[in-house]
Chain A
Amino acid sequence: AQSVAQPEDQVNVAEGNPLTVKCTYSVSGNPYLFWYVQYPNRGLQFLLKYITGDNLVKGSYGFEAEFNKSQTSFHLKKPSALVSDSALYFCAVRPLGAAGNKLTFGGGTRVLVKP
């Protein structure tokens, strides 16, 4: 069975500083990895995904994530955070070849960007 861990419940960062949200995963075989963002009172929105290829994936709103197979990590990064990036971020995984789109989500990390 697959699992996702987001070790930090909350990340605080000052506006303009780099932002990192950590994610590690456990899955049999090769993973499909995703990041989603949830703004208050909204559904989740897709940010980016890793399927194959370049380990550095670029997504929406200036976010990127780096796949590290040896460390089984897929950390989300943004070079310069904005106050509007304050939200709840979810990492998700699906094993290659799994039936359906059964994504397993991490517990979420709340990001608070202070002006």
Chain B
Amino acid sequence: DTAVSQTPKYLVTQMGNDKSIKCEQNLGHDTMYWYKQDSKKFLKIMFSYNNKELIINETVPNRFSPKSPDKAHLNLHINSLELGDSAVYFCASSPSPGQGAGQTNEKLFFGSGTQLSVL
């Protein structure tokens, strides 16, 4: 059973289209994330939700809109796709975020990625 699953695995689309990537985790985690990995393999966080509430929102164009219908799902919708959006998008989950000394819930579980190609 895949712990963090995201679909589709590959997504090829034209500029200007709107597309969604879905993510589901069956680990019972409270926190989910979207990361973007560019062509140089640089990995950067985009969003994080804890129990359906947005807790991290990096400087991401507002064409990107995450939606968390429940704590097991975090979908990513992208409007008006641009060439620069081409990347691999990873979903991840973890137990509730730890804060302060002694909190060690930072182990992230990643999905296998969605390779988005905008033509």
Seen from chain A, the residues whose Cβ lies within 8 Å of a Cβ on chain B are 32, 34, 36, 41-46, 49, 51-52, 88, 90, 94, 96-103, 105, 107-108
Report A-chain residues with C-beta under 8 Å of the C-beta of B92.
Answer: 43-44
Could you list some 18 contacts between A and B, CB below 8 A? Answer: A34-B106, A36-B108, A42-B112, A43-B92, A43-B113, A44-B43, A45-B110, A49-B106, A97-B100, A98-B99, A99-B56, A99-B99, A100-B31, A101-B48, A101-B97, A102-B56, A103-B108, A108-B42
Q: Is B101's beta carbon under 8 Å from chain A?
A: yes
Nearest 4 pairs between A and B by C-beta? A43-B110, A105-B43, A101-B97, A108-B41
A contact residues around B111 at 8 Å (CB): 43
CB distance from A4 to the nearest CB of B (A): 10
CB pair B45 A52 closer than 8 Å: no
B94 at the interface (CB under 8 A from A): yes
- 8 Å CB contacts to A: which residues of B58-112? 90, 92, 94, 97-102, 104-112
Interface size range on B against A: 20 to 34
Give the residues in chain A near B55, CB-CB below 8 Å: 99-100
| Complex interface: chain A residues within 8 A of B99 (CB) | 97-99
User: How far apart are the CA atoms of A42 and B106 in the complex, in Å?
Assistant: 20
A43 contact set on B, CB distance < 8 A: 4, 90, 92, 110-113
Determine the chain B residues whose CB is within 8 A of the CB of A49 once the complex forms: 104, 106-107
**Are B41 and A107 in contact (CB-based, < 8 A)?**
yes
